[in-house]
Amino acid sequence: MSNTTSFTQCTNCNGDLTFNPSSQMLDCPFCNSTFTLKGAPVKKETVINEAPQLLIPFAFGKEVFNKSALEWLSQGEFTPADILNSYYPSATKGIYVPLYLWQISYVITSPAGSKADGTMAINIADGQKPWPKELIDFTKSMATVPGHLKAFNAAYTLGFEVQEEEVTDINAFNNKSKEMAKSTVAANNHLPDDKNIVITELGLTKVYAPFWINRYNYKGQNYEVIMSGADVSMMGGTRPADAAALAAVKPSFVPSLFVLMAALIVFTGDIIWVSNHPGNHNSIPEYISMITLLTLIFVVPTMVVITVLRRRSWTSPVVRLKKERELKLSQRLAQKG
């Protein structure tokens, strides 16, 4: 291992260095030299109030993501059996997305007195490309955990793409964050609204959050798999559904729904007839009411239960198709692994 360095190029061969998430060190892919990170945090220009900058480093490499992505793609009740053929590991890239950690002090005023406290919130820069909600929500909680955050150092970004914000209106950006924070305070304090919440202080810290992403195409449609670069359990994205499986499931509840609708219509019509003829003690409407009521209470739920059991039984075409897909997916996953 070579001496520590704060440069972006190898001191032995001048090759471009890359950050290795597994070792948390810098690697030179040309001469195989390894360097430790060193030096004070590197300042970068920011257009929002000279916000101090933090970073959550990648904790694992591309190969870990690709393995998890293939497993994630092979899951799902309606996942097509040939989905893995459309996924190319070489298309995976690591990116840093800029988020903003707002540290806010506030006061809640009421006739009974006031309460002062503080909270934190995360906002994505105005104009930034949208990312899956579940990963952004995870990043919100992750960014508030001190163990994940490090002072920004350009060495952590070597070999990765860094997305930058495109803030078009700073005042609107600040106001949006205040409104979001007030909503958070109201929810945390079980308040019906945020009318009595006053923001007294607002601090801003820019946080670069890591993501692995792979965009793939399946039968002419674009999909993506995204994972937090700091936690393998946080994965999201989109995947197609098998048309044959969906077609098999779609009509399964139609008979039950038809009987339910028919019983409701007959029962409602019978009730209207009886209410409009209070002096008529015709037994036929009474029998109809009793039959339709029994249908609603017993027959329809029984049909629904039978339908559900059939869908989950070994003889169900849906289950059979699912088992066939699972077998093919497991075989292809083993081949790609």
User: Mean pLDDT per segment of 10 residues, for the chain of length 337 residues?
Assistant: 59 83 85 71 41 84 92 80 85 88 78 67 62 63 68 89 75 77 82 83 81 91 89 85 70 66 73 67 64 69 69 57 69 67
Least Cα distance to 98 among 78, 74, 124, 73 occurs for 124
How far out from the chain centre does Cα 55 lie?
Answer: 21
Residue pair 73/92 in contact (Cβ under 8 Å)? The answer is no
Domain boundaries, the chain: 1-39, 46-240, 246-336
Least Cα distance to 295 among 252, 268, 262, 273 occurs for 262
Least Cα distance to 94 among 33, 157, 142 occurs for 157
- Distance, in Å, from the CA atom of 319 to the CA atom of 271, rounded to the nearest integer, reads 42
Question: For position 47, what pLDDT does the model report?
Answer: 44
* pTM listed for this prediction: 0.65
Tokens of 58: 């990648």
Q: How many CA atoms lie within 13 A of 284 on its CB side?
A: 3
- Distance, in Å, from the CA atom of 299 to the CA atom of 251, rounded to the nearest integer, reads 19
CA-only gyration radius of the chain, Å: 29
- Helices (DSSP H) in 56-120: which residue ranges? 62-73
- Distance, in Å, from the CA atom of 206 to the CA atom of 126, rounded to the nearest integer, reads 13
Residue pair 213/131 in contact (Cβ under 8 Å)? The answer is no
Residue 164, helix vs strand vs coil: coil
Q: Give the β-pairing of 150-151 and 18-20.
A: unpaired
70 phi, psi to nearest 5 deg: -65, -40
